[in-house]
Amino acid sequence: MRKPIIAGNWKMYKTAFEAVDFVKNLKPEVSDVHDRAIVICPPHPVLKDVGDVIRDSNIALGAQNLFWEDEGAYTGEVSAPMLKSVGCTYVIIGHSERRQFFGETDETVNKKLFAALKHNLFPIVCIGETLEQREKGETFEVIEKQIREGLKNLVISNWSLVVIAYEPVWAIGTGKTATPQQAQEVHAFIRGLLPRDVAQEIRILYGGSVKPDNIKELMAQPDIDGGLVGGASLKIESFEKIVKY
């Protein structure tokens, strides 16, 4: 059985006050939810403050990015040991916004993946096709390349921490969700690309305009193991409903 994960990606939203206020209010609302993992991924400057509020609760802390070296002259970057030191247990890698605006490639995704695994962080590796690629019929080819190159050189023991998020780029922040059937089709394809020994254990999350009114149907699909939620994770009301789908 794969334990579902509902992860909120706050992107570049919320000041320290807003972030702390949010988790203080969310914590009691979801304290009785134990059959799924709840993860909040705030911006780096507020990780410590948010981590302090949710320590010893059923809400886990995740970062939105990391650099692959442990330390060094890399101005502006943060490393896996730094994320661990403020309480992170998850880290998003290769989000499409980072691929689009910050030059992330399957090669950098792979380096970051190994940095996360070295420090026992659950990497949430994001993959997904653009609208143009979908319309040209290239979805499966794109996904296969992202999996083969972004997740290359993993040995079987590495896989236990890995989480994959399928996020069609055309569905992110657009209000256009993939239909549950479209998502399931790609999720099943992704699972088919994974090593047979681990394929049934790997969590594959869906991301792209997940909302309270579509989460249930998405989660009813056999290969959808959770959601990576952007916009709807910024309000307690909608995030709580998604967590409790």
Q: Taking CB positions, which residue lies at the least distance from ligand PEP?
A: 230
User: Restricting to residues 149-168, which ones interact with ligand PEP according to CB under 6 A?
Assistant: 167
**3-class secondary-structure state, position 213:** coil
3-class state of residue 160 by DSSP: helix
Which one is catalytic: 95, 97, 104, 187?
A: 95
Rounded Cα gap, residues 229 and 225, in angstroms: 13
Catalytic residue at 77?
no
**229 near ligand PEP, judged by CB under 6 A:** yes
Region from 12-20, 110-118, 197-205, 223-231 binding ligand PEP, contact rule CB under 6 A: 223-231
The Cα 189–Cα 109 span in angstroms is: 20
**E strand or H helix at 163, and its extent?**
strand 163-166
Q: Tell me how many residues contact ligand PEP (CB under 6 A).
A: 14
How would you label 65-79 residue by residue, b for 16+ Cβ within 10 Å and e otherwise? bbbbeeeeeeeeebb
Instruction: State which of residues 46, 164, 172, 205 lies at the interface with ligand PEP (CB under 6 A).
Output: 172
> Would you tell me the crossing angle of helices 16-29 and 236-243 to the nearest 10 degrees?
40
Minimum distance from residue 59 beta carbon to ligand PEP (Å): 18
Does 183 engage in binding with ligand PEP (CB under 6 A)? no
CA dihedral sign, ordered 75, 119, 229, 28: negative
Q: Does 8 bind ligand PEP (CB under 6 A)?
A: no
Q: State in Å, rounded, how far the first CA of the chain is from the last one.
A: 18
Residue 161's closest CA among 102, 100, 202?
202
* Residue 183, H or E segment: helix 180-193
Say how far apart CA 234 and CA 18 lie, in whole Å. Answer: 10
Contact residue for ligand PEP among 23, 194, 228, 243 (CB under 6 A):
228
- Residue 231 interacts with ligand PEP (CB under 6 A)? yes
Site string for ligand PEP, 66-105 (x = CB under 6 A): ----------------------------------------
Our answer to whether residue 135 is catalytic in this structure is no
Determine, following the binding rule CB under 6 A, whether residue 43 of this chain makes contact with ligand PEP.
no
Cβ proximity to ligand PEP, 172 vs 196, nearer residue: 172
User: Contact between 230 and ligand PEP (CB under 6 A)?
Assistant: yes
Which x/- pattern, by CB under 6 A, does the window 191-210 give for ligand PEP? ----------------xxxx
Contact status, residue 106 vs residue 147, Cβ threshold 8 Å: no
Residue 48 or 211: which CB sits closer to ligand PEP? Answer: 211
Which stretches of the chain bind ligand PEP, using CB under 6 A? 9, 11, 167, 172-173, 207-210, 228-232
Instruction: Give catalytic residue positions.
Output: 95, 167
